[in-house]
Amino acid sequence: MSIDRNKVTIAPKSFPAYEQAVMDSGSFLAELDESVGALIWTDYSDPNGLKDLLARNPQLEFVQLPFAGVDAFQEVLAAPVRFACAKGSYREPVAEHALMLAMALGRVIPERVRATSWGRKFVASLYDANILIVGAGGITEELIKQLTPFRCNITVVRNRPGHLDGASTTVQLAELDNHLPSADWVFLACSLTDATRKLFDLQRLKKMKPSAYLVNVARGPVINTLDLVTALNEEIIAGAGVDVTDPEPLPDGHPLWSAQNVIITPHTADTNAQVVRLFSIRIRENLAAYKGLGDWVGLVDPELGY
């Protein structure tokens, strides 16, 4: 049986918005059989399920993954299939969340929301600050736009050489330690790979200024969590805002909850409603590309792992 490029399967869970996106692309939903070449996979927590499904369906040519990060799917990416992820889809809400965490830290909001007396005056402003962003994807591009009014000096650390619009300086990952000591704010917006796992351990955190802040909207394991607790409690850095943790969810009673000057949000930089709406756009775009009617968006490079 030949593949019909108008047929699409959504698994393991389907949503009305995704089904509408399939129809808007000019395709139609079908039960998975040997005539279906396109799969929309909707469960980030079940890479083994996808692996098994691919093994049973060697005819599949294209798989759309649901989130920007594909670290959970590293084994699956070895399959001879074109994979796309949602990188760039959630750039606006995630960058907005990173900016919110930074501004809240700079105005000592963790301290003030618990205060029962007038307290001290303090501010760490983003205006004219030295900003270092690790990662050069859509979140970083959007964060740079949001930081533009603050006249920041922005250094972007990326995996490959190349300029990024709005950045004052762009360097490669091997040069990270050369730029950490001058940063007032460090934002993590990179993919989780072998190169970035535990990238920020105690040794690297000690390279930051005692007045510097760390914001993580990437993946929890980019930071060694217990080392971050030490860095906060010993005032090695001034504070941290994290929307992702390792482990995740962060267990009740974990020492990070009680660390000094930390804001923890429960991986809510983008909400379910935002994800469904924005992922529907990505589905529509890439199903059109699958049929040769547009450009691919968010293709995954299996060698780079993102």
Q: What is the DSSP string of 44-101?
A: TT-HHHHHHHHHH-TT--EEE-SSS--GGGTTGGGSSSEEE--TTTTHHHHHHHHHHH
CA distance linking residue 208 with residue 237, whole number of Å: 7
303 is catalytic: no
Catalytic residue among 91, 158, 219, 282: 219
The values of phi and psi at residue 58, to 5°, are -65, -10
CA 164 to chain centre: 18
Nearest to 123 by CA among 107, 139, 101: 107
267 is catalytic: yes
97 is catalytic: no
CA distance linking residue 272 with residue 32, whole number of Å: 26
What one-character DSSP code corresponds to residue 40?
E
Catalytic residue among 197, 254, 267, 277: 267
What one-character DSSP code corresponds to residue 117?
S
Catalytic residue among 61, 248, 254, 277: 248
Question: What tokens were used for 108?
Answer: 């000592």
Q: Kindly list the catalytic residues.
A: 219, 248, 267
